[in-house]
A and B are shown apart, each in its own frame.
Chain A
């Protein structure tokens, strides 16, 4: 009993903090209450729920050899210290997602997002990561597609692979769109991000020929270069000659990114991808740690209300009500299907003992949820007027400070044109109006927090561009690496249809697959950039639906495996989150298709515009008949995409049902685990 006492205390502190956050109305709440509530909940969940899953649901066996022991080769399969592996896994799962989703979701107030992140990660997100890691660990570290094929059959595996590829395309388009939103009309930001390309190439040359393998050294040199680029960027932006050269419109940036993606993904990896990955990985970890320290030191009050009027729908950042759209807007951080690909990637091949799995699988995801909580806090400490000015589409609030201040004040968040102009000046930008996508908002918040700790108001512009650079850097790395990964996924899929294409001797299939992959995400990026509603509004829900759908697929696999292991009585552990995710994604998908509200449904929106088009009428925000046609076309493509996602998830539901029923009829376990005896590598 004594050993439970500290945990009981932690639980009590968490419950009290959560109570303060949830019940306070009218008076300002300090951000630390949210942080303390989250941390306490996570510790208690880890101590009790993760251990319950490990002991009773999975029955982890520390004496059972892991892939790293059975197939040890010193390269891919290496038994790794659990602290070291925790860092590896966390760095692989944490990306832009947990930073963006919570910022967008803050339009409904800070409370719904906080509760969903805490509850979602404990019962769904961390369970998913942990289960997939466990399943892969018991099967030589195979990938998600192979695992589904092994346990649910060939057809289910192929459908899942196709779904994963489509998700990849949407993720790349959304990430690239965020970069466009952050860098458009921002010569300072554009210069610093552009400077990372030659900088990374110099680093690449250094690690290739001068001092091979000296990653630490070259990263410090790179960091010095980055800081110099940020400082020098201000001079460039103010120069009458260079400033305009680095000022691009969103459409120009879109084409630059598409060209960049196509070229970067065929360059040798040591030249650009690897060195930039060093920078972005270390900068990401450093910035996350600094943000945590900064929030604790500053202890800022939350200025966003706990709940806004937009919780019931009609918000400017994304359309639709709290259910189901909050639960797909905050994907990464609460539950992210993409993690299933990571947890069945390199990590299961490095795990030294089955008893390390809870820390890696469950613990690292809790850490990511903590990052999401910090992003939510960042958005909620800003003046709500500034938040809505930055995140509402130009079609709603116009493009100058006077119209934006008027429109946002009319929403119920009083703000003056001077305050908007002053914020833009503080961070060294021409304008902050309609910079949707989360990254710029978070950068303003980070500038606020960092300048409070280091440098004061004079440093705000530096910290803002530091934050933009840090986000753009790892998004560009993801675009590059994702295009390469997407290319291989596509080649695998093409090889199923035409086996000749799978042969890797010829260069041509690779080039075709790369081109198709870039064209696919480029299409959605261009659609998002030219979307009069701002793009993020349209694309982020599609991304959210697809990501949560992949999570549902991973959890369905986990359920099928539990049934096949004859652990039916514990299947509720995965069935509960599966059911919730299916309810959310299916209803969100249904509303995106068939809602009567044109702000929510692609089909209703398309029908409204095509009816106007037939009458020869131009509806705002379109400015010409040609734009009207494009809106109708985009609506239909998006609707088709959502329909495909729904079809994928429904068909996998059928496969899961059949697998579970078949396992129930079988008297003995039918699971395909690798036997326990070691083999020689």
Chain B
């Protein structure tokens, strides 16, 4: 990975958004029969997962 790509990924993961391409790769490799979320659905799903409460603890 180039440095810019690493920093981009780092910034996105800092706010709880994993890489979309990784997700698609995982789904096509392991679960070709299941539906794959598009970018928008993926973004909303991850937003809910990060902020929905269970993982909501921020540090002091």
Q: Which B residue's beta carbon lies closest to that of A91?
A: B14
Q: Cβ of A274 and Cβ of B47 under 8 Å apart?
A: yes
- Are B40 and A269 in contact, with the CB atoms below 8 A? no
Q: B46 CB to closest chain A CB, in angstroms?
A: 7
The main secondary structure of chain A at its interface with chain B is helix
List CB contacts (< 8 Å) of B1-50 with chain A.
1, 6, 8-19, 22-27, 30, 39-40, 42-50
CB-CB < 8 A to A680: which residues of B?
30
> Across the interface, do A75 and B18 meet the contact criterion of CB distance under 8 Å?
yes
B39 touches A278 (CB 8 A): no
Query: Shortest Cβ distance from B31 into chain A, in angstroms?
Result: 8
Q: A338-B59, A346-B55 are in contact. Are A215 and B23 (CB under 8 A)?
A: no
CB distance from A440 to the nearest CB of B (A): 18
Asked whether any CB of chain B lies closer than 8 Å to the CB of A547, the reply is yes
* Contact, CB under 8 Å: B13 / A88: yes
A345/B57 in contact, CB under 8 A: yes
Closest to B12 in A: A215
Which residues on the A side are within 8 Å of B48 (C-beta)? 269
Quick one: closest A residue to B6, CB to CB?
A83
The answer to whether residues A212 and B9 also contact, given A96-B60, A342-B57, A478-B58 and a CB cut-off of 8 A, is: no
Interface size on B, residues (CB 8 A): 42
On whether A484 and B51 interact (CB within 8 A), knowing A74-B22, A278-B15, the answer reads yes
**Complex formed: what's the CA distance from A75 to B49 in Å?**
9
- Distance in angstroms between the alpha carbons of A87 and B14 in the assembled complex: 6
Shortest CB-to-CB span from B4 to chain A, Å, is 12
B residues in contact with A481, CB < 8 Å: 51, 56-58
| Contact-size category for A | 35 or more
Within 8 Å of chain B (Cβ to Cβ): is A679?
no
A307 interface residue (CB < 8 Å to B): no
Most A C-beta atoms less than 10 A away, residue of B10, B49, B58:
B58
Q: Is B58 touching A477 in the complex (CB atoms < 8 A)? A: yes
CB-CB under 8 A for A75 and B30, given A215-B12, A338-B59, A484-B56? no
Judging by beta carbons under 8 Å apart, are B59 and A94 in contact? yes
Per the bound structure, the CA–CA distance linking A342 and B14 in Å amounts to 13
A96 to B60, CA, bound (A): 5
Choice from A75, A350, A474, A487 contacting B45 with Cβ under 8 Å: A75
B53 touches A338 (CB 8 A): no
Assess the B46–A485 pair: CB atoms within 8 A. no
Are A215 and B17 in contact, CB atoms less than 8 angstroms apart?
yes
In the assembled complex, which residues on chain A have CB atoms less than 8 Å from the CB atom of B27? Answer: 74
Of A75, A168, A477, most B-chain CB atoms within 10 Å: A75
Check A92/B59 contact, CB under 8 A, given A78-B19, A270-B44: yes
Does A661 interact with chain B (Cβ within 8 Å)? no
Bound CA–CA A547/B59 (angstroms): 11
Interface centre among B18, B42, B56 (most CB of A within 10 A): B56
Asked if A522 is an interface residue, CB under 8 A from chain B, the answer is no
Per-residue B-contact encoding for A336-361, CB less than 8 Å = 1, 0 else? 10110110011000100000000000
Q: Are A282 and B26 in contact (CB under 8 A)?
A: no
Contact of A87 among B10, B16, B57 (CB under 8 A): B10
State in angstroms the CA–CA spacing of A485 and B53 once bound together.
5
**Among A84, A213, A478, contact of B43 (Cβ-Cβ < 8 Å):** A213
What separation, in Å, do the CA atoms of A92 and B14 have in the docked complex? 7
Report the minimal beta-carbon distance from A330 to chain B, rounded to whole angstroms.
12
B57 contact from A78, A84, A175, A341, Cβ within 8 A: A341
In the bound assembly, the distance between CA atoms of A281 and B10 in angstroms comes to 12
A-B contact pairs, 19 of them (CB 8 A): A74-B25, A80-B18, A81-B1, A81-B9, A84-B10, A87-B14, A168-B57, A212-B39, A270-B47, A285-B14, A345-B57, A477-B58, A481-B57, A482-B56, A484-B56, A485-B58, A488-B56, A543-B60, A547-B60
Task: Give 19 A-B pairs besides A336-B60, A547-B60 with Cβ atoms closer than 8 angstroms.
Answer: A72-B30, A73-B26, A74-B18, A84-B6, A84-B13, A87-B14, A88-B10, A95-B59, A212-B43, A216-B8, A216-B12, A270-B47, A277-B51, A282-B14, A332-B59, A341-B57, A342-B59, A478-B58, A680-B30
Q: Which residues of A contact B (CB under 8 A)?
A: 72-76, 78, 80-81, 83-88, 91-97, 168, 171, 174-175, 207, 212-213, 215-216, 269-270, 273-274, 277-278, 281-282, 285, 331-332, 336, 338-339, 341-342, 345-346, 350, 474, 477-478, 481-482, 484-485, 487-488, 543, 547, 680-681
